Chains A and B, each alone.
Chain A
C-alpha cells in the first residue's frame, strides 16, 4: 500500500506538482480519481487502494466533502479534514467562526427572505455585497448599489432552484486598494503571501477571473491573523484571504481547496514541495 493517496476528480497543474514533488521527497504516492471509485459506507474497513493518509484535492467541493466524510469514518486521516472542508466551503459558517474567534472580518448579516434582505441592506447602507453561501471563483457575487438594484437581483435569486440561494449573505463593501491579499498557511506556518490585483474590468480579485498576483512580505499583524484564521477552521493547508482597510486588515475567506499555481509563479516559492514536506511529516510520524 502506498504511503499517501491523493484523491482528485480532475488532474490539474497543482495535483501533478504535488505528485511529482512528493515523489522527489521519496514518498510512495498513488492517485485516485473519486469519479472512478465508489465507496461502501456500511462497512468500516479502510478503503482498498487508498492509503492511511489522504491528501484531498478534488475540484468539486461536494465530491471532496463527502468522500472525506466517508474516508474519515473508515479510519483514514484526510487532509484537509471533512470538518475543515465543511467550514471553509460555507461562507456563513466561516464568518461565524472568524467573528467568534475575534478575528476582524467585514460586517455581515444573513437574511432569510427577500423583503427582510432589502430592509437589512438599507440598514447596513449601500453598497452591499451579496454572496452565495456556497460558491467559488467569485461566481454569483454581486455588488449592490441601491434598493432598486437589490430588488432586481434578489428577484432573480428567488427563482433559482437551489434553496441556499434564498438565504441572503450580505456583507459591507469594504473600501480597499484594488487588490486583496492571499496567504498560504501550511501546518500553522504562513509560507507565502501574495497580493491579488483585480483585473481592469472587474472588482473581484480571484486569479481565476484574470486577477494578477505579486509577492509581498507579511507584517507581524497579518501573519498572526492568517495563522489564527487557519486554526479557527482546523485547516492544515489553506489559503486565507485578507483586505487592507483604514482600520487594519480584515479576513474575508478561508479556502480549503487551495489553487496555488498563480501564487507559486508570483512568489517563486515551491508551495507544492512545502505541502508534501508536511504530508511526509504526517506519514512518518
Chain B
C-alpha cells in the first residue's frame, strides 16, 4: 500500500501486514508517521509523536 508524504509529497510504502501504532518513515525526507488504520487496501497515517525525554530504557 502507498501513502503520500504531507511534507514532501513522496510515496511512502506501507507493508500490507502493518499494524495500527506502527511507525513508517518517508524515504525521501525522513518524516515519521504512525499508522492509524488499514482497511480495504487503504491506509490512514498521522504524524508520529516526537521523541520524548522519558522515552526508552
Give the B-binding residues of A (Cβ under 8 A). 8-12, 15-16, 19, 31, 33, 35, 59-62, 134-137, 139, 208, 239, 255-259
- The minimal Cβ–Cβ distance linking B32 to chain A, given in whole angstroms, is 10
With an 8 Å Cβ cutoff, the count of chain B residues facing the other chain is 15
A136 touches B22 (CB 8 A): no
Contacts of B20 in A (CB 8 A): 11, 31, 33
Contacts of B52 in A (CB 8 A): 59-60
A138 and chain B: residue at smallest CB distance: B56
- Per the bound structure, the CA–CA distance linking A134 and B48 in Å amounts to 24
Give the dominant DSSP class at B's interface.
loop
With A10-B34, A10-B49 already in contact, the answer to whether A33 and B21 are too (CB < 8 A) is: yes
Interface residues of B in 3-56 (CB under 8 A from A): 19-23, 34-35, 48-49, 52-56
A11 touches B57 (CB 8 A): no
Contact partner of A259 (CB less than 8 A), chosen from B34, B53, B56, is B56
**Sample of 15 A–B contacts (CB below 8 Å):** A9-B49, A10-B34, A10-B48, A11-B19, A11-B35, A12-B23, A16-B19, A59-B55, A60-B52, A60-B55, A61-B54, A137-B55, A137-B56, A139-B53, A255-B57
